[in-house]
Amino acid sequence: MGKYEKLASDIIKNVGGKENINSVFHCVTRLRFSLKDESKANDDFFKDSDEIVTLMKSGGQYQVVIGNHVPDVYKDVLQVSGLSADVGSDSDQKDEKIGQKILGYIQAIFMPYLSVLSAAGIIKGLATIFDIAGWIPAGSGLGILIAAIGDSVFYFMPVYVAYTFSTKIGLNKFIGITVALSLIHPSVTGIAEDTFIFGVNVAGLSYSSTVLPAIFGVVVAHFVAKFFDKVIPDVVKTFLTPLFTLLITVPLVYVFIGPVANGISDKIYMVISALTTTSPIIAGAISAFFWQILVIFGVHGALIVPSIIALIQGTPDIFISFIGVAPFAQMAVVLMMWLKTKDPKKRSLMLPAWISGVFGVTEPAIYGFTLPNIKLFIAGCIAAAVGGAYIGMTNAYTYRMAGLGIFSIPGAVSAENPANLMNFLVGHAISIVLALIFTFVLYKEEDTNVNEEAASKAKDKLGIKKSEIIIQPVKGQVLPLNQVNDKAFADGLLGKGVAIVPNDGKLISPVDGTVTALFPTKHAIGITSDNGAEILIHVGLNTVELKGEGFDVKVEQGDKVKAKDLLMEIDFNLIQDKGYDITTPVIVTNTKDYLDVIPVTNSKEKIIEVVF
């Protein structure tokens, strides 16, 4: 298991358990669940958890916003739940509305390999840069190999589509993949001479770098396979069903359905292109202004699909350029907030959020800082709109699918249109500069912790003001908690903290607070600080078996205490003579109520810092 095993377990539990999950996959920042019954999920857990940014429900999906590390959390969710890494079958989702189903199909087809698609686009952009600069000529051996790496994902796109869509609708994945591979086999791709199949001239047909033919092919194969599964005896259906499915599906799609699918794809992009070219300035401004709002509600993924398809097919796209300025505008807002604030805690949180946004992941910054200050969020949207308008005015296209944030830049590189990259960068610079100016004028230090409802109840503790120090309650060597010879303490299951190997018998209060728990066996004491930290001091391991022998308690449950007040005296020699480990864990049992609980093992007095 990975380091997010406990978080994964909590997530599975609070979505209603494994049995309530139809499917789960992730995008850049979110776990996207399709649940059988959303009423079984515990919404409050996801909205209140310090390890989760927030919860969104959109497009029939239960979206748990995690942040940049969502791939690692996703892996642990799969391991904890035993779910497959596949997208998940659609069979249990009969009650979804048609719009939700369509959105679910789109996301299931494209999201699983979007990161690889982006990486390939970046490689293609870098290859162009290397060639222009003369570092790695395109015709050199290494240049050819690098180009092949970038081109492979796009060329074999039908295979990716066939795999994810077959998984989604429940077709044998290898039948789907074989259909796609057959369509792009070199012997039937771009045939130069007139060649007839069923009386149809198939010369020039090509399905490499396409999407819709593979989708239609999988649909046809799905129904053909279902038919033969019903009529073929079980003893031979294992190989006869794929046999007949492929022999029927591939010719049908290659000759008749594929050309229609390509035509539909061309028409869709023509319509979108017409909308963006009729008034590109207005289109750019509107797209850039609303993009981050759509991101908040988690419905942005479907809108970029036509652009992704166009880029896969090698057609430059401007919509990707429009929306690309929006994250940079929001990041500029956070950067100026960081520059202006004098609160070190706010600064320490803003900087990582800003860095995350520079790489295209804006949720931490939006939910943590710009939305709670709604006027700054809107200012960022307006700045983005101006940058988007400039992109439209100068026709700064994206030429290939690339990454998010700064990794989108290689996508705008064009050897045939060198000015394109400059216009692309200027559009982004306009958004950044305007957002910085707007924030400089509008930002007020005292406003940073208000409008929590406007932040969709995102982690309210991101607007922190202070921390609490927990001092060492007994003299001795301070150790990391994971060195305790007890799994519950060592794994942090009871909360974060430290362990102490005592060399003195006096146990003092680590905080100002109240004695809220005093065990009859005297081996453990609980104190709640005046600021709310619930601290457990567990003297030794398994010392409950001593039934109070060796412990002289000086306080009673309910007593008010000050830091360094004597709580009890302990005969550690007696405890050791009886064979018990005297290692004493000191933990904050309500760790989840705080932004962070920071163990300190190198201080003379402080052992834990609780961050509000």
> Which are the catalytic amino acids?
27, 538
Phi, psi of 611 (to 5 degrees): -100, 125
Contact 291, 326 (CB under 8 A): yes
Contacts 24+ apart (CB under 8 A), 363-366: 363/29, 363/30, 363/53, 363/65, 363/67, 363/295, 364/53, 364/67, 364/68, 365/330, 365/331, 365/333, 365/334, 366/292, 366/295, 366/296, 366/330
- Residues 515, 584: Cα–Cα separation, whole Å: 18
Amino acid at 472: Q
Under a CB-based contact definition with an 8 Å cutoff, are residues 268 and 306 in contact? yes
Task: Please state, in angstroms and rounded to a whole number, the distance separating the CA atoms of residues 424 and 232.
Answer: 58
* Rounded (5°) CA angle 164-166-167: 65
User: 234 φ, ψ to 5°?
Assistant: -55, -35
| Tokens 């998010």 sit on residue | 404
**CA–CA dist 12, 611 (Å, integer):** 27
H helix intervals, 202-304: 212-231, 234-252, 258-278, 280-297
Q: Are 321 and 392 in contact (CB under 8 A)?
A: no
- Which 3-state string (H, E, C) describes 547-585? CCCCEEECCCCCCEECCCCEEEEECHHHHHHCCCCCCEE
**What DSSP letter does each residue of 430-470 carry, written as one string?**
HHHHHHHHHHHHH--GGGTT--TGGGTT--GGGS---EEEE
Q: Which secondary-structure segment (H or E) carries 427?
A: helix 419-442
The C-alpha atoms of residue 560 and residue 528 are separated, in whole angstroms, by: 10
What letters, b where the CB count within 10 A reaches 16 and e where it falls short, cover 198-225? Answer: eeeebeebebbbbbbbbbbbbbbbbebb
Cα dist from 341 to 337, 348, 439, 447, 548, whole Å: 6, 11, 12, 11, 52
CA 584 – CA 581 distance, rounded (Å) = 9
**CA angle at 23 for the pair 20 and 28, rounded to the nearest 5°:** 125
Give the Cα separation of 603 and 71 in Å (integer). 35
Secondary structure in 3-state letters for 473-531: CCCEEEEEHHHCCCHHHHCCCCCEEEEEEECCCEEECCCCEEEEEECCCCCEEEEEECC
191, 197, 202, 203: CA torsion to nearest 10 = 40
